[in-house]
Structure 1
Amino acid sequence: MSVHSLKAPFRAPFKTPFKANAVVPAKNGEKTSSFSTPRTCKKQTCIPAKRNKGYKKYNGEDEDDESSENESEYNSGEESEGDSASDSDGKHPRKKTKLNVKRTPFAEVSSRNHNSSARNNNSSPSVLRNPKIALKSQFKPPTFINKPSNNQSNNNANSNLDEDLSRRLTLGMRRKVFVGTKALHDPNNEKSLVLYYPSDNEGEKKEPIVPIKKKERTLAEILGVVIPKSDKKVHVVVDPILTSKLRPHQVEGVKFLYNCTTGKVVEGAYGCIMADEMGLGKTLQCIALLWTLLRQSSLPNKGTIEKAIIACPSSLVRNWANELTKWLGNRIKPLAIDHKGTKEKFLKDLRQFVNAQGRMIMNPVLIISYETLRTNISELNNCQIGLLLCDEGHRLKNSESLVFRTLNSLKVQRRVILSGTPIQNDLSEYFSLLNFANPGLLGTESEFRRNYENPILRGRDADASDRERETSDQKLAELWSFKLTGFDVVPVKYEHVVFCRLSKFQLSLYNLFLTSPAIQRLLRGVGSQPLKAITILKKLCNHPDLLDLPDDLCGSEDCFPPDYSLKEKSRYVRPEFSGKMQVLDRMLAKIKQETDDKIVLISNYTQTLDLFEKLCRNKKYGFLRLDGSMNIQKRQKLVDRFNNPSGPEFIFLLSSKAGGCGINLIGANRLILFDPDWNPAADQQALARIWRDGQKKECFIYRFIATGSIEEKIFQRQSHKQSLSSCVVDEDEHVERHFSLESLKQLFQFNPNTICDTHDTFKCKKCEHGIQTVPSKVMNYGDSSSWDHFTGNDDLARINDIMLKEEANRGIVSYVFQYNSENGKK
């Protein structure tokens, strides 16, 4: 059977070309063709043929020269064994060729002992293309090029073409990642908030913050992306999304925070205290700082920090998470530990936060309560933290507390304390806060007392000598030089201290108690219970129904009014038995009838809240109540319900101990603090519930004080502490020295004939016979002597508040201090 008798063309069984005339041994040892008869040949074998190194590229033309014939024919069976062996490794060099070559028919297979080959010139449409030629052509991936438009010039077309060619996509190749060297946001925009200018600190030393050592390769190293190193500094610009929401006073606050946490204020100090008024948007300012440090630094494409922790009271954990989502959306995913899940889930999330590094950090911000952080500090001991924010930071006022020691053990250098009241009682608490933010900046605690606290306190006393006052001013100037405590400009509000006379029933009980044998023994220093006596007097100033008469006060039966009933007090409230309650009753009625305002009533005692609740039920007023008995999950729902303008409740009863911190009650624009606390910080927190960011109405805030009573002594002690805070924190050197420490010990002295015992101690130069004749130029919030003063007679008609104008000449309100924030200075 000859090859010429084949009707169908021969099809190669392999993709690679093979030798069709391979020689196989015969029986007698002579060579025969692979296409011999079956009786004289063994099993056929296919051997890959060697590719000719000298072939030419096909160009689609008919070529009959010798080189073309050599390209198309099969190799002879007399090829050397070395050539065959060299081809068996499959490494055939491929050269570029065009895909549109002319099809070439199969060459005829040579017969036995035929050393030369000839081309079969008989072409047929059914003949397939030569597989040897097909494999010579290399696959060329397609390219996608945007063709220039017809109306463009040739130069533009060529430039666009070159640009597209440099960016074209190719299969099997990874695109290069181009890393920019510019600022993340445009610093030249007129609305941009630039926190760092490269020209400011060209020769500045690098911050002594040790970077995190990474043992594993970074993602850029794994992908082979080389980020060019550059010493060029870039601008640090606050994200425009946040800049558009910042008010002018908040812009200054963000700048202050950034300068302190980057060590620009004091060399080696990276912490600060944000001591602005409550409700002015400290949260938004801190979010702007946090987001900026996470995303940007003076070096391009690099953040200043990688992780941050926000420590706050448990009731504010969810509020912080909501605020981050509100301002940043899905740009950041905080990890909020609010104990909604299981303990295993909480520990898993916490360990994931600790172990994540570099681009594997999915939750860069951890929001956790002080108590949870203290009990799980072992999980965070080895974690490098870039920034620590401590909300309601006055919890760190005691350097010996467990919370202070726990947070101080964290590996974090940048620390920010948020507190509207950095000085609550004395300068030692201020030292604890500043020493936590910047350890060792003011020396040890004993050195601080010797160098600052004792000289300042001696100079602030009313009986201090001129030399002691001069020394005190010098020490205050040294504290001011650090500039690590900042605050914001305050918006508009009216705050009043309303002095109310006691009712006849209260007066008789008060005098009876002061003349009782128990108080007489107390004043002589003989075995007594001073705290119990103080508590009885404070409750009596609110309302006699708060006392357990006659057990709390022996002989009180003789003081009962004719219409007073012990059984009736459990169901009804008689406002006429209390001076402060009479003023409150008239104000609630006027607000309900003539305005659409809402009001918050705050007290230190839940018993007083019970009294308010009875009054609301008797008058059929809509109200809501929040105290320590309500769990955290229900509190926010109650607050949202009250802040709804269409809600029927216009009174919110609030315990200063349970809800004095962090709750936003902007649905109301009036607030009454019914009784004072020994700690002025507690009162300041309570007074700030309505005067917050987002409030749209003028705010009217009232502090009720029983005239001439123990409440005035408490208020005077608060004034002394606030005066000290104004000197140290607010850098006010014009605060008057009104009270000596000895005068504040006279707690149990009662002056029923005065219109205001506090004003009598001022020796006020603006007033004549209690009536102000000289206007107040600048009001200092910590010094009520700089406020406007009004007597309770016709003079009260000049006041700004319509509610207090109604109390003129009624005989209950004896005196009023008014602070106007438009003329005020914190």
Structure 2
Amino acid sequence: MADWKKPISLAVRSPYRLCFRLEEPPQEEGDGRWYVRYLVQPVDDMSLLIPVPEAFGAQGKKVLARASGAGSAREAVLSALGRASALSPQIERSLGKSAPAGYFLNKTGAYEFLSSTSTLLDRSGFGVLLPSWWTRKGGKVRLSVGARVKSSTLQGQAGMTLDKVLNVHWEVALGSQVLTREELESLAALKAPLVKVRGQWVAMSAEEIQAALAFWKGKTDSRMKARDLLALSLGTSAAVAGMDFRGVQASGWIGELLERLRGDSRFAELASPAGFRGTLRPYQARGYSWLSFLSQWGLGACLADDMGLGKTVQTLAFIQARRESGENNPFLLVCPTSVVANWKKEASRFTPDLPVIIHHGLGRKKGESLKSEAERQAMVISTYGLVHRDLEHLAGIGWAGVILDEAQNIKNPEAKQARAVRSISAGCRFALTGTPVENHVGDLWSIMEFLNPGLLGNRSEFKRRFFIPIQANRDAEAASRLKRLTGPFILRRLKTDPTVISDLPKKMEMKVWCTITKEQASLYKAVVDEAEEALEGADGIARKGVILATLTKLKQVLNHPAHFLKDNSQVAGRSGKLQRLTEMLEEVLESGERSLLFTQFSEMGEILRAYLEATFAEEAPFLHGGVPRARRDAMVERFQNDEKAPHLFILSLKAGGTGLNLTRANHVFHYDRWWNPAVESQATDRAFRIGQKKNVEVHSFLCSGTVEEHIDELIERKKEVAGSVVGAGEAWLSELSNSEIRKLFQLRAEVQGE
């Protein structure tokens, strides 16, 4: 046992370490012999390396003694060589001398030392020193394939499309050095794992060289569509003919395009179109210009800005600009039913000269009638629910572009609506979404397959190259490749970005137009019919009572049927407002932000509380007039200061509209309207007040084509006197004539949802 322990004990206690250095053949010997040299290294001075024969001589002993403070190295070195000989026959054969210096190797032996023996020695505690070209490259310099393309200089864009065929010259390179065919053939003839190329030793397999030769014989020059070349340059393929792909070097217009896509040079920023009513913020102008740049080349674009940054406005500016530049074909806008009305209202506000129709509802046109009507429009708005049902009619129209709002609705590529939108031909395709990756990177494949078909390969290729490495293995390199490939086609700005936040006002107030459901429309009509009957012959206080009671009932219907019916029935899927609120809160919660939700009805507050807690699996406290003072103070304190506080806080307009400091929230939702700007402003100021460090977004919900829209229009028309007219709440409405009341209560036919 003592004899067995002795060499191990010596190795642990030894002041010296034995090292093995692989040395290349001298330059004058060309492909001569390699040498493994044995060296002694003091543990206390790792910079000192002395060949073993010198270490055993008088001078070497003195040097080592000064460096380590220990005695002779002979016993420790010979013991170490004895242990190393068990790992390598060559080391064992070299031990015939009293002071072994090392041993020679041919190229095959040198490659074996590099790839195998060195690892064994290193793991056994010996020092190993290898040529820098081996360690720097992590094993070996590989053969790779590259493409070189020349094209004419870009003079405007006439005649330049991604369907243009270009001449491509293929090159094979070793590291950064391009090889000639003669050099490759010479390497193949050597049939050695280590070869010297232009003075540099490299490790290369015969199979690798033969693959390169076979590729070169197949195509040194070829022709390829610019679209395919673009995809290749972005990294759609990591290998060509089994070899690494080193990229595309391009000049002329295709080179300029690739530089802009990669972000190496900027695309042109456009002025707002003449017919656009409003002012684009600087980041919005960049977004609209980016959409225009990609669409010019027939490339799909995903505008993935944070909620509230104006994806709708940027898209409308783009459509307006296209119409002004001579585009006569319509754009198809596909969106959830909950935002149909919002698109129509925003279009009439920002691009009032654009003809827009909604393809929706039971009375919608089909066939030639639809085609004829659509061709006279700038934009046709439809829904995900209808696009697959009416695909036969929609597919026959020559669309300038197809735009998907809330594009996460096609994250399941097998869903009918996803297959339908992919099948519609169009000049360009856009996807608008605040959450391009909602659950996992697989969501991105479906959106990209719609925008730029084939860019990410088929689903099985995407799963192999990206989904499994990223989702299962957390492969950072795979994630980087996916970002490099999709990055040119995704523009995402956050409200916290320095280039964005400086463009934003401290408080952004926006109206959210919602589409009511069939059930809501039916109840609404019933309430209006009952009111019209009651108004006949009514006057004075009785008439005023009918009008105000009807207003309350209509508000309840528009909030939610269950609010009006008071029957504790199911909540999901029955209210356009609630559907839109859910969609918006998904984005808010995804970003970790907090929200205040105001309603003037305590019953609706309870419905919201129960529904939102069940939907988002998170507490949503409700502060109303029945909450005791102490409990109210505790709720506010918790929301403001507790790290684990809920992200949603529901408040009744009267109980929570004044006297509270809730600056931790930066979103304010007015679920229903009081029609008193002063009261709503006071409620908003619970978040927008001293101490608020973020920009506040105020979302006021309105149902399109209903009394809410009509009153809003009335107030907007009389804005200069609205404060004095509306200041008393809603009583002023009772002063309107019966014909005015009928117009106020009227429900427009086209606003009904599915």
Q: TM-score, normalised by structure 1?
A: 0.33
More strand by share: 2
**Higher radius of gyration, 1 or 2:** 1
